[in-house]
Amino acid sequence: MILIDGPRIPPRGGKAKKLAVLFHGYGSNGADLAGLAQAWAPEFPDVAWASPNAPEPVPGYPGGYQWFPISRLDPAAMDSGVRSAHASAEHFLKAELKRWELGPSDLVLIGFSQGTMMALHAGLRREAAPAGILGFSGALAGPERLEQEMTCKPPILLIHGDQDEVLPVGMTLMAAQGLAAAGHGAEFHISPGIPHSIGPDGLALGGRFLKLALAGKLA
């Protein structure tokens, strides 16, 4: 296991009542996705935000990290990749919850691209369900094993642009199908005209989901 760390945004009130952890995409870093947290933070004064760098630096990408190496979206490589990074992600989640003296249900996970794969993998295998999982432009790794391995069923919202040429929008549709086949489910939203990024509609819907999830209104 590789210990990970990254930027944090403390709650404005000083005392956190909830925790949001953001998992960035391939070749990015925690600081990049912390910018997403900054967009939401004013609406959540009691939330602590943490955006760790993934365990491995990406060769040729100065300041870029990966949860696992990219391999042409090969399903087996994605499955083995999230499994290899799971221990690092889970250790970070436990440490952050302890830092703020919060319980497992006070947590929301947010991912982008490869980070969405990590958020889904880690979030669905926790001992107690997080308050929610919000995934942008991602995919579900290892859906064929999920029914046997899933230990909790948190609310999930998946958002994807229909012009994404990096991870095609069909990956989110397949993720929803995989979750349903495993006995769970997810809401999803397709953002028209959006490439591999987050559009204004996705940002607004994501904020609404977080507000409801952290208030316990989606369980």
pLDDT exceeds cutoff 70 at 122 = yes
Task: Classify residue 12: in a domain, yes or no.
Answer: yes
Over residues 7-22, the pLDDT tens digits come to 999 998 789 999 999 9
Burial of 190 (0-12, 13-18, 19+ CB in 10 A): middle
Residue 30 lies in a domain: yes
- Residue 150 in any domain: the answer is yes
pTM reported for the whole predicted model: 0.96
* SS3 state of residue 93: helix
The CATH number for 194's domain is 3.40.50.1820
% of the chain with per-residue pLDDT over 70: 99
The answer as to whether 72 is a domain residue is yes
Q: Kindly tell me if the per-residue pLDDT of 71 is higher than 80.
A: no
Q: List b or e across 146-183, with b for residues whose CB sees 16 or more CB atoms inside 10 angstroms.
A: beeeeeeebbbbbbbbeebebbbbebbeebbebbeebe
Q: What is the pLDDT of residue 12?
A: 87
pLDDT confidence tier of residue 73, bands split at 50, 70 and 90: confident
Longest CA–CA span in the chain (Å) reads 44
- 1 in a domain, yes or no? no
Q: Is the pLDDT of residue 72 over 80?
A: no
Predicted pLDDT at 217: 85
Indicate whether 219 belongs to any domain: no
**Residue 141 CB coordination number (10 Å):** 25
Alpha-carbon distance of 188 to 124, in angstroms, equals 17
Conformational region of residue 171, where left means phi above 0, alpha means psi within -120 to 50, and beta covers everything else: alpha
Domain limits at 195?
8-214
Amino acid of residue 87: A
135 within some domain = yes
Per DSSP (E only), the strands in 61-155 are 65-66, 107-112, 132-136
For the chain, the domain total comes to 1
pLDDT at res. 219: 64
Any domain includes 3: no
